[in-house]
Amino acid sequence: MNRIIMHYDMDAFYASIEIRDKPHLKGKPVIVGRRVITTCNYEARKFGLHSAMSVVTARRLCPQGIYLPVDKDKYIKEAEIIQNLILKLSDKTEFIAFDEGFVDISHLKEKYPDINHFASVFRNRIFKHTGLSCSVGIGYNKLSAKLASEVNKPNGQFIIKNENEFKDYVFNKDIKILPGVGKKTQEILRQKNINKVSDLLNYSLLHLQGLFGHIKGQLLYEYALGIDTRPVKKDHKYKSIGNETTYSRPITDQDFVYQTLDDIFTKVLKRMEKKFYHAKTATIKIRYGDRQTFTRSKSLKIHSNNKQDLRNLYLDLKEQLIIDKPVMLAGFSLSNLIIKKEEQLTFESVPKLRKKKTILELQDKINHYEDIF
């Protein structure tokens, strides 16, 4: 393999954290989410439960399940621990979700000639540090790595070494296995009798481009052949810091909604400070009872961590809110973030800051790979 790419994905991430912290839940169906399921463990999935299902339906299918609220702050902290561990292995990492990412491990070829062994070492190491299991796929590009990590999920690993192995594993699978093939694309493909990945190759590149446009048509054609030249992008920046509250009943009291937003704003600001972030853009979001969503964003000219700047931005957005019907959800976020650490350092504050190494700081600092893996 020229490139060796690993894709990792934590198993039933939020639910696994809850079970780790409440060991008496082990072996029971555990569901995380309030109105809809955010995630559930594999025991709960046996009852047909899955993310995005309403909790009302879930309770009907699995009344004996343990239903827990979402504790996002806790999960974010856990994600940071995992990401920091992975950054010790390679800084060529791309975190595509809280619990999932690609790592270019080509440089480890000599140290770990047996890739299967490496995958076990990696998974054991994550488990040792966090008490959580993950699934790993290793491939010759991002596509093969991502598909490989699904094969033996949960708590498993799989390797796709080259295009021939890709063909063996992927050709007979349903087209929905390919990234970018959502419901709409599937509909168009199935009308053309393209159901399996190999069926895509009954059509020419030009034909697929005619159906899906130049870029997507080419992508589908290449994916079907196992070709994927996308690099692992080093993008460790959190895209935003924010929070949303979903009410258990529709709220008509405007002041109550304002209070929720004020609370969220205060918390967001605290997290910003903790991480030495400077933000440029603020976004406010309301979802009404009729599922209509109202969002407004506003940006500063330059990044800032000045509380008053950010508060003014927030107040401007709050003024634009129209609360003329019941509200189901209220949210606020700061995005367009950068990290700046030129805060006045006193001698006393230095050791304290050192402890607060974040992913972003590590990204800048790691120029050698620790020998922990």
* Catalytic residue ranges: 100
- For ligand TTP, the binding residues in 143-202 under the rule CB under 6 A are 153-154
Q: Which does 198 bind (CB under 5 to 8 A by kind): ligand TTP, Mg ion, none?
A: none
Q: Which does 39 bind (CB under 5 to 8 A by kind): Mg ion, ligand TTP, none?
A: ligand TTP
**Interacting residues with ligand TTP between 88 and 107 (CB under 6 A):** 97-100
38 binds, among Mg ion, ligand TTP, none (CB under 5 to 8 A by kind): ligand TTP
Task: Give the residue with the Cβ less far from Mg ion, 17 or 330.
Answer: 17
Binder of Mg ion out of 43, 91, 99, 228 (CB under 5 A) = 99
Least Å distance, CB 89 to ligand TTP, is 20
Euclidean distance between CA atoms 316 and 318, whole angstroms: 5
Q: How far is the CB of 353 from Mg ion (least distance, A)?
A: 32
Give the chain as a 3 state SS string: CCCCEEEEEECCHHHHHHHHHCHHHCCCCEEECCCECCEECHHHHCCCCCCCCEHHHHHHHCCCCEEECCCHHHHHHHHHHHHHHHHHHCCCEEEEECCEEEEECHHHCCCCCCHHHHHHHHHHHHHHHHCCCEEEEEECCHHHHHHHHHHCCCCCEEECCCHHHHHHHHCCCEHHHCCCCCHHHHHHHHHCCCCEHHHHHHCCHHHHHHHHCHHHHHHHHHHHCCCCCCCCCCCCCCCEEEEEEEEEEEECCHHHHHHHHHHHHHHHHHHHHHCCEEEEEEEEEEEECCCCEEEEEEEEEEEECCHHHHHHHHHHHHHHCCCCCCEEEEEEEEECCEECCCCCCCCCHHHHHHHCCCHHHHHHHCCCCCCCC
Site for Mg ion in 292-311 (CB under 5 A): none
Residue placing its CB nearer to ligand TTP in the complex, 45 or 278: 45
CB of 13 to ligand TTP, least distance (A): 3
Is residue 11 near ligand TTP by the rule CB under 6 A? Answer: yes
Q: How far is the CB of 304 from ligand TTP (least distance, A)?
A: 29
Which lies closer to ligand TTP via its Cβ, residue 91 or residue 99? 99
Q: How many of the chain's residues bind Mg ion (CB under 5 A)?
A: 4
Residue 78 is a binding residue for ligand TTP (CB under 6 A): no
One of 3, 20, 51, 163 touching ligand TTP (CB under 6 A): 51
Binding part of the chain for ligand TTP, among 5-13, 103-111, 174-182, 300-308 by CB under 6 A, reads 5-13
By CB under 5 A, residue 78 contacts Mg ion:
no
> Contact positions toward Mg ion, by CB under 5 A?
9-10, 13, 99
> Contact positions toward ligand TTP, by CB under 6 A?
9-14, 38-39, 51-52, 97-100, 153-154
